[in-house]
Amino acid sequence: MSEAVPRIAQIPNLVDLFPDKVQPDTRPGYQGYLVGREHLLEVVQRLRDEYGYDYLSSVTGVDYLPEGKMEVVYHLYKTLGGPALVLKVQMPREDPRVPSLVPLYRGAEFQEREAWDLLGIRFEGHPDLRRILMWEGFAGFPLRKDWREPYFEEEAKPFKSRWPEGFVFRAEDRNPFGDNVQYPPGFDPETWTPPDDEAIYRVLKRASEEDDLHADTLVVNLGPQHPSTHGVFRMVVSLSEETILDLKPVMGYLHRNHEKIGERNTFLQNMPFTDRLDYLCSMSNNFGYALAVEKLMGVKPPERAEYIRVMMAELTRFLNHIFAIGFLLNDLGAYFTPALYAIEERELILDIFEAVSGSRMMCNYFRFGGVARDVSPDILEKVRRLVYDRLPRKVDEMDEFLTRNEIVRERCEGVGVLTAEQAIANSASGPVLRASGVPYDVRRAEPYSIYDRLEFDVAVRYHGDIYDRYLIRLDEMRQSLRILQQVVRDIPEGPIMTGKPQYQVRVPPGEAYGRVEGPKGELGFYVVSNGKPNPWRYHVRAPSFINLTSLVDMARGAKVADVVAILGSIDIVLGEVDR
């Protein structure tokens, strides 16, 4: 009897299930299975429907230039928990085509567009395969290994021009135009009009002819320069009177090709760059990246470092959530009173980060196998006073301040609903997923660091509206404080680093996917090493980027004034969306 019950943590042996369609990935340091592209849809559909792999976490591509191959890498999970099932599809570089998984998992939509945009992999059957981060008409695919940026100097850092004959120059002085824009041949920026706008307007749903009132459909651009979008983010909506029929997010205004920069950097040099992804939560970003590289290197941080890491990650979660609540209220029109109350608490936490790492926001605090500096007893005392005394009081105050407020409830309850099925299919993660009734938290589903030893509950709410996304952040702040109290109580003495600090770490060849439960959701880093000092591939599964897939489901049928609040409740940071 018990044999028939599938064990959650067990990965099915795909070779037995799909003979001659699937083969194990036998390259040293690699895991998972290689699937022929003609069998991909069939295999994935069965995995989803029969084996419970209902959550497509990450889709990305890798350019294996020396072998003349492209590869698409899929990370599938069960929302019940357990490790990843990694699938890969290989294809020749000249003919990078693969069937799109959007019909099975809508969450693949943006990620496949990203892989098309940056690597030129064509996803057949994708409903809207346009560039997403770069602009339409951009020349080339920047993440391909043979693509070079306008300020290109060398394939990999450190650059030879810096030492021992480092005669300084400015990169822009070497560029005859004085800027870093590269145009495709025959392109005239003076006469060019962006074709992607046309494309967006065309695919937007309009009011149907049979409508009683024959109301005209109105297309409105919210953003990119709009204070409610928390940065430069644009939403194109089609409206029937005030009701939203369809919505298309447009992003990429802050795009800097973080991943290409990451592949030019050495492994360690990447650490401060991860700070700049979600610039509110640099500690969590460090955490995810450190985990991925440590998996490859096979090192484990000492006990004290683990405690410090969790302490920093939970403080980060607290400050992110209190900040998100404050700014959600800004979006609702309670201009800056709740936000400033939130910033006060954030300020005290940032003081701790500054004392520990040297910087308030760009912490750059984690190292492979530990952390950069020890936490002194007086800083620990400060944290203790905060987490035992002040912060619990302030969460309660926030609760008293907002939760029962009729205006907040009127604006939030029942607005922007995302059902559990939609949330899973859209690969939503973090508070967005859990507010829709799916108790999925990486800290519990696949515990990392010392989370398996800590006592806390996975917060979950069931309505999936803005109000629940607000409440869940309050719940999670309380759980974070619970974790912090345990950490501060139990933190052991000892070293903070395994081995000696090195500036050139040796990373054996292979791949690793490190993921953490960041404040915004599942933050994953996919790193491929070929044994050189620089990563061959470095990919970020950015939670705010993928959570935006759900925006259209939440916004459809809502009023245009609510979109601002809905976007605020997803809690995005454009530094991470656009990367």
Nearer to another protein among residue 66 and residue 164 (C-beta)? 164
Decide if residue 74 touches another protein (CB under 8 A): no
According to CB under 8 A, which residues from 483 to 522 bind another protein?
501, 503-504
Order of strands across the sheet that contains 537-541: 510-518, 521-529, 537-541
Decide if residue 372 touches another protein (CB under 8 A): yes
Per CB under 8 A, which region of 44-52, 91-99, 174-182, 358-366 contacts another protein? 358-366
Choose among 536, 487, 544, 475: nearest CA to 511: 536
Per CB under 8 A, which region of 55-63, 73-81, 157-165, 445-453 contacts another protein? 157-165
Nearer to another protein among residue 45 and residue 502 (C-beta)? 502
Decide if residue 190 touches another protein (CB under 8 A): no
Per CB under 8 A, which region of 48-56, 164-172, 180-188, 536-544 contacts another protein? 164-172
Classify burial at 216, counting beta carbons within 10 Å of its beta carbon; exposed 0-12, middle 13-18, buried 19 or more: exposed
- Identify the helix (H) or strand (E) that includes residue 41: helix 40-51
Residue 494 CB neighbour total at 10 angstroms: 11
- Cα separation of 219 and 206, whole Å? 9
Please identify which residue in 124, 397, 413, 490 interacts with another protein, judged by CB under 8 A: 397
Nearer to another protein among residue 266 and residue 427 (C-beta)? 266
Report DSSP letters for 292-345, one per residue.
Answer: HHHHHHT----HHHHHHHHHHHHHHHHHHHHHHHHHHHHHHT--SHHHHHHHHH
Partner residues linked to 88 by β-bridges = 34, 73
Decide if residue 6 touches another protein (CB under 8 A): no
Chain-centroid distance of CA 219 in Å reads 29
- Cα separation of 544 and 563, whole Å? 16
Please identify which residue in 382, 444, 482, 556 interacts with another protein, judged by CB under 8 A: 382
Nearer to another protein among residue 242 and residue 347 (C-beta)? 347
* Residue 497 in tokens: 């680093």
- Identify the helix (H) or strand (E) that includes residue 541: strand 537-541
Decide if residue 158 touches another protein (CB under 8 A): yes
Nearer to another protein among residue 26 and residue 163 (C-beta)? 163
Q: How far is the CB of 141 from another protein (least distance, A)?
A: 24
Q: How far is the CB of 406 from another protein (least distance, A)?
A: 5
Decide if residue 357 touches another protein (CB under 8 A): yes
Please identify which residue in 164, 186, 377, 492 interacts with another protein, judged by CB under 8 A: 164
Please identify which residue in 16, 165, 190, 210 interacts with another protein, judged by CB under 8 A: 165
In the chain, the amino acid numbered 388 is Y
Nearer to another protein among residue 229 and residue 357 (C-beta)? 357
Please identify which residue in 155, 216, 241, 389 interacts with another protein, judged by CB under 8 A: 389
- Cα separation of 482 and 244, whole Å? 41
Decide if residue 5 touches another protein (CB under 8 A): no
Per CB under 8 A, which region of 166-174, 201-209, 313-321, 508-516 contacts another protein? 166-174
- Ranges assigned E (strand) in 45-141: 55-64, 69-77, 85-92, 97-99, 122-124
End-to-end CA distance of the chain: 49
Please identify which residue in 272, 392, 437, 439 interacts with another protein, judged by CB under 8 A: 272
User: Footprint of another protein on this chain (CB under 8 A)?
Assistant: 157-159, 161-168, 170, 265-266, 268-273, 337, 341, 344, 347-348, 351, 354-359, 362, 364, 372-373, 382, 385-386, 389-390, 397, 400-402, 404-409, 501, 503-504
